[in-house]
Amino acid sequence: MRAYERLMNYVKVWTTSDLDSETVPSAGREFELARRLVEELKDIGIQETKLDDKCYIYSVIPATPGYEDKPAIGLIAHMDTAPDFGGKEVCPQVIHDYDGEDVTLGESGRVLKTAEFPHLKELKGRTLITTDGTTLLGADDKAGIAEILTAVQEILSENMEHGKICIGFTPDEEIARGAKHFDVEQFGALYAYTVDGSKEGEIQFENFNASTAYFTIHGVNVHTGSAKDILVNAQLLAMEIQSLLPQDERPETTEGYEGFFHLMNMSGSVELTTMKYFIRDHDGGNYRKRQEILWDIEKRMNEKYGEGVVELKIEESYRNMKEKIEPCFHLVENAKKAIVRAGIEPDISPVRGGTDGARLSFKGLPCPNLGTGGFAFHGPYEHITVEGMDLVVKIIKDIIRIYAE
């Protein structure tokens, strides 16, 4: 079975994670795909497979006799899809010999346009898989699962020599909880790769340092007829806080290694207003300076309007995995070698976000991220190609082969 055929089966299973849930996994529906994957793993001959009560799958392929001294390599992907857009009743479109032009997405009224996604021109002649415009596709990260399973099935059927291979499938990655309950010791690998990136040939080993900042602003609400020198409008103070931030350091004005402040949410009234910001930067020093800017704003606002009017809380989210990958840079070099062998130019780029790999790297499992061959994740314009997925399967197999050499 080819990877895309597996993907077509997986996307039909509703696995959207739930940000508002406190359970693990966040949505019980994630177990449906997990149970299917356990059966599939066992069907292809991997009997050492376990699904735990938190919806994590751990599976092990023992080393070929004589290769027990080779490094144990892990392959990881996540089962949930993003809550940003509908993930239920996914109906993919398959376009054979794609002509490289705009694609009408079912009867949704949406069009996948080359003007907005110029890389589509480069996919001409391939078999393109899109949504019908009413849901996301779920290639993030069911494509990664499909590619891992296809690669290990081929490794086993071809009797390819290999060291120990560890496979892990996680829930709730899309709501930043995927690595939280991941048992690195039980997983059993020295190093791993998440297969959760974009185009084939992509390697990511740098991500943002990230935290979330929460402002709480206390106003004073009185009748407007007698408001002079008494009323304090918390909403206006919130607007003032935003005005004190660098206006050219937002997601929509930055790229590459440039960091930003992102106002995610602002709500409230005259009496009480809250603001939620994402703080992101690849550079550790700049990241700390961004936090200091917010603490300074809190201080200045309270000096101006009174102590306790503005309260700030900052919660750390994740850190740049670069510092954990650089000491074992063979992970990147060997991935590059495998990508070149597949006839692709390696694309090493920073993640403008976070990955399970970052969190796992800080849990003691160095874990760069590989592309899946997909594009435009988390929305109705998500798409992937059959040929891109085939190349990722080849890359995974070659990485395993390289570590066995």
CATH at residue 375: 3.40.630.10
Taking residues 233-246, report their average pLDDT.
98
Q: What is the mean pLDDT of the chain?
A: 97
* Domain edge (last residue) among 318, 353, 370: 318
Say whether both 33 and 103 belong to one domain.
Answer: yes
Say whether both 44 and 193 belong to one domain.
Answer: yes
Strand pairing report for 347-348 and 202-204: parallel
* Domain edge (last residue) among 318, 335, 366: 318
Range of the structural domain that residue 219 is part of = 209-318
pLDDT at 49: 98
Taking residues 212-233, report their average pLDDT.
96
Whether residue 368 contacts residue 239, with contact meaning beta carbons closer than 8 Å, is answered with no
* Domain edge (last residue) among 277, 293, 318: 318
Tens digits of residue pLDDT in 64-123? 999 999 999 999 999 999 998 999 999 999 999 999 999 999 999 999 999 999 999 999
pTM here is 0.89
Q: How confident is the model at residue 131 (pLDDT cuts 50, 70, 90)?
A: very high
Using the predicted structure, report yes or no on whether residue 292 has a pLDDT greater than 90.
yes
Question: For residues 33 and 56, what is the distance between their CA atoms, to the nearest angstrom?
Answer: 11
Number of domains in the chain: 2
Looking at the chain, the whole-number percentage of residues with pLDDT higher than 90 is 96
Using the predicted structure, report yes or no on whether residue 176 has a pLDDT greater than 90.
no
Say whether both 43 and 188 belong to one domain.
Answer: yes
Tens digits of residue pLDDT in 304-349? 999 999 999 999 888 999 999 999 999 999 999 999 999 999 999 8
Tens digits of residue pLDDT in 7-30? 999 999 999 999 899 999 999 999
Active site residues: 80, 173
Burial (CB count <10 Å: 0-12, 13-18, 19+), residue 276: middle
pLDDT at 356: 86
Q: Give the number of other CB atoms < 10 A from CB of residue 31.
A: 16
Say whether both 310 and 324 belong to one domain.
Answer: no
Token digits for 124?
């001409």
Q: How confident is the model at residue 369 (pLDDT cuts 50, 70, 90)?
A: very high
pLDDT at 244: 98
4: closest CA among 387, 293, 370? 387
Say whether both 308 and 353 belong to one domain.
Answer: no
Say whether both 27 and 121 belong to one domain.
Answer: yes
Residue 235 Cα to chain centre, angstroms: 33
- Strands (DSSP E) found in 96-241: 103-105, 110-112, 128-130, 165-170, 191-197, 202-204, 209-218
Say whether both 129 and 164 belong to one domain.
Answer: yes
pLDDT at 362: 94
Whether residue 353 contacts residue 208, with contact meaning beta carbons closer than 8 Å, is answered with yes
Whether residue 282 contacts residue 349, with contact meaning beta carbons closer than 8 Å, is answered with no
Using the predicted structure, report yes or no on whether residue 157 has a pLDDT greater than 90.
yes
pLDDT at 285: 96
